[in-house]
Amino acid sequence: MKISGLRRVLAVGLGVLFLFATAIAIVQTREALTYREMSAASTQLELASHTLTMIELIEAPPAGVEIERVDAIALLENGEVIERTGLSFADRLRATELIEELTKNAQVDGETERARVEELLGILHADAANSEERGAEASSTAFAFIVLSAISGFAVVFEVLSGQRRERKLKSSLRDQAFTDFLTGLPNRRELSVQFELAKQTMEHSPVHTAMLYMDLDGFKEINDASGHATGDEILRTVAGKLRAVRGSNETLVRLGGDEFGVVVSNLQSAEEALEVAERYRTCLQRGANPADALHMSIGVATASNVTGLDDLANRANLAMYDAKKRQGSSVVLYHEAMTESANSTSTLLRCLRSADLDEEFSLEYQPVVEIETGEVFFAEALVRWNCPVVGRVGPDQFIPLAERSGEIIRIGRWVLQRAMAQLLAWQDNPLTRDLSISVNASIHEVEADDYIEPLRAAVAAGDIDPSRLIIEVTESSATGPMVMERLAEIQELGFRVAIDDFGSGYSNLAQLIHIPYDILKVDRMLISSLEKCSDGQQQSIEVLAAVSAIARANGNDGAPVVCEGVEEAHQLQSLREAGISHIQGWLISKSVSPEAFVDFLEERTSYSAAA
């Protein structure tokens, strides 16, 4: 019979598979060989050349030459062969049973045959896998091949071996996928444990430092929300490429998730070196970019000088990164112990927040928004306050971000909404507050919740309050997503009003105001604070405020009032008037006060106006 092209390729492939093995040879010359001759020659020949010769002769013997099939059972009974392969007595018995089944049951189906071949292959390789001597392993490998070829022919044996190879490749591929970030091609978070283990082995024998850099893109969420996830993904790929380009030989760069990246730096001589490495990564994002388009990154750095310090290295770097974020981003911060103390305090605060009785511990205070020209109160913003029985009074700048990260903001926001509507109902009996509107802040987590709109619908159905007297405030960064804009439009359809809060605090886009449904625009206090600076900066702020005011006036038939927050000084009013700002809010008018004190504030202003 003639060997086909495919069979020859397979034969060559299998010959290469056993290239470095030594074993029993079936053929030394192109003559018909007996089992005894074959056994005697087994210790003298190398598998690298003779395995391939054996395959070729079995598949396509030369004219006039006959190849005897190997007596597989005789091989298992041969003392010299058994000694070389190291097979145990039990393995020999089971192997003999399998061989008899394979040779005597000619009609067995292919699946059963493959299963028996796989089991036999496992037995014949078992001792070799545990052997410390390369010679025994090679002999057993070759012996397994010869026995299986003699029983089932080359095709089945190759199929089994190929299947095992494919399985190994699949496992290798799955491992690569498990340790690789599909978007950037970088190693993922799982790689950290591998690198820390390697660092541990090094640090046990050398006095070196290991550092962890925890890196987070500044403002990425706003960019992602405004431009879409496709743009966000492209930005992440670009960032990964820039970080990869400056990576050192002793640095492992990983994507931790979202817009967070990490670097494990090994073999450092001092902690100061880690800060230099971090600065290199921080500045690489700004190279070759326009100042307006440059990306910024906050980086937390933690170092370890001994093995024990590796245990929470990533956590400490993460804490330092959050501290860098608080410094307005684009900075590098080295971890210190006070950060852990702060984190522990935050943990205590979170436990208290989750177990808080809102009716007992939380309250609402109200701060007025007034018209500049008339001094009349436009509406009152409801501001939530927390008096914790464990840690005392907690500022909203502390617990609101914590509530948003933990999901508690949903529960708190719902309580605020219900309490504000109850206050509107209570104030209807007072002539001073009968027509007063109240605004409540809503986070993106609340607005996107499926049931957020339900209490608003219920309030409209009950008819107890005029819906136009309740204003829902959402931040500029939250209002740009399509789901939120759709929800805001739905709120307006029910008769409630919408205010865009903190405009100018992030990546403001005046053109987006045209597409966002809103009734009131509130400018962030950061623009107001610039009025205190040099004349050039003051003029720029006035121009920006004027542009915002002009766009707001173009919104709808009557235009949207523009409210400037954080007004504290009387001299700021003139600049605000020049910019066309109509309403202000801040300590210049009043701090936030209790509902009772707010009514007193209204009475005082009414008495003052009457006296004037």
The mean per-residue pLDDT over the stretch 163-185 comes to 68
Residues 6+ apart with CB under 8 A from 376: 370
Token pair belonging to 561: 């009032």
Among 23-27, 177-181, 576-580, top mean pLDDT goes to 576-580
Which CATH number is 346-604's, of 2.40.30.10, 3.20.20.450, 3.90.1170.20, 3.40.50.300?
3.20.20.450
Question: Using 50, 70 and 90 to split pLDDT, how confident is the model at 60?
Answer: very low
Determine the pLDDT at residue 106: 52
Q: Which of 27-36, 159-168, 377-386 shows the lowest per-residue confidence on average (mean pLDDT)?
A: 27-36
Determine the pLDDT at residue 47: 36
Question: Higher-confidence residue: 601 or 19?
Answer: 601
Determine the pLDDT at residue 90: 75
Determine the pLDDT at residue 143: 53
Q: From residue 564, give the alpha-carbon distance in Å to each of 135, 383, 439, 587.
A: 84, 17, 15, 12
Question: Using 50, 70 and 90 to split pLDDT, how confident is the model at 156?
Answer: very low
pLDDT at residue 37 above 50? no
Q: Which of 107-121, 126-140, 362-376, 475-489 shows the lowest per-residue confidence on average (mean pLDDT)?
A: 126-140
Q: What angle do CA 487, 492, 494 make, to 5 degrees?
A: 100
Determine the pLDDT at residue 511: 61
DSSP single-letter state for residue 571: T
End-to-end CA distance of the chain: 119
Quick check: 252 and 187 in contact, CB under 8 A? yes
| Helix, strand, coil tally for the chain in percent (to 5) | 55, 15, 30
Q: Which of helix, strand or coil describes residue 251?
A: strand
Question: Higher-confidence residue: 478 or 150?
Answer: 478
pLDDT at residue 578 above 70? yes
pLDDT at residue 527 above 50? yes
Determine the pLDDT at residue 135: 43
Determine the pLDDT at residue 136: 46
Residue 298: phi and psi, rounded to 5, are -100, 135
Residue 235: phi and psi, rounded to 5, are -65, -45
Farthest-apart Cα atoms in the chain, separation: 131
The mean per-residue pLDDT over the stretch 456-465 comes to 90
- Give the Cα separation of 479 and 468 in Å (integer): 20
- Give the Cα separation of 489 and 487 in Å (integer): 5
The mean per-residue pLDDT over the stretch 303-311 comes to 82
Q: Which fold has domain 191-335?
A: Alpha-Beta Plaits (3.30.70)
- Give the Cα separation of 149 and 69 in Å (integer): 9
pLDDT at residue 440 above 70? yes
DSSP single-letter state for residue 62: P
Q: CATH 3.30.70.270 in the chain: give the residue spans.
A: 191-335
Which residue type occupies 562? V
Determine the pLDDT at residue 35: 35
Question: Higher-confidence residue: 150 or 582?
Answer: 582
Give the strand order in the sheet containing 332-334. Answer: 251-257, 260-268, 209-217, 297-304, 332-334
pLDDT at residue 84 above 90? no
Q: CATH 3.20.20.450 in the chain: give the residue spans.
A: 346-604
Q: Which of 235-239, 252-256, 432-436, 520-524 shows the lowest per-residue confidence on average (mean pLDDT)?
A: 520-524
Determine the pLDDT at residue 19: 35
Determine the pLDDT at residue 55: 41
pLDDT at residue 424 above 90? yes
Token pair belonging to 556: 């709808």
Q: Which of helix, strand or coil describes residue 431?
A: coil
Question: Using 50, 70 and 90 to split pLDDT, how confident is the model at 381?
Answer: very high
Determine the pLDDT at residue 530: 58
- Give the Cα separation of 403 and 361 in Å (integer): 15
Quick check: 11 and 154 in contact, CB under 8 A? yes
pLDDT at residue 553 above 60? yes
- Give the Cα separation of 524 and 522 in Å (integer): 7
CB burial class (10 A; 0-12, 13-18, 19+) of residue 366? buried
Question: Higher-confidence residue: 25 or 187?
Answer: 187
What pairs with residue 7 in β-bridges? none
Determine the pLDDT at residue 171: 59
pLDDT at residue 72 above 70? no
The mean per-residue pLDDT over the stretch 424-428 comes to 94
- Give the Cα separation of 85 and 139 in Å (integer): 6
Percent of the chain with pLDDT over 90: 35
Question: Higher-confidence residue: 541 or 28?
Answer: 541
- Give the Cα separation of 408 and 600 in Å (integer): 33
Q: Which of 279-283, 378-382, 512-516 shows the lowest per-residue confidence on average (mean pLDDT)?
A: 512-516
- Give the Cα separation of 95 and 101 in Å (integer): 10
Q: What angle do CA 430, 473, 600 make, to 5 degrees?
A: 25
- Give the Cα separation of 303 and 316 in Å (integer): 9
Question: Using 50, 70 and 90 to split pLDDT, how confident is the model at 351?
Answer: very high
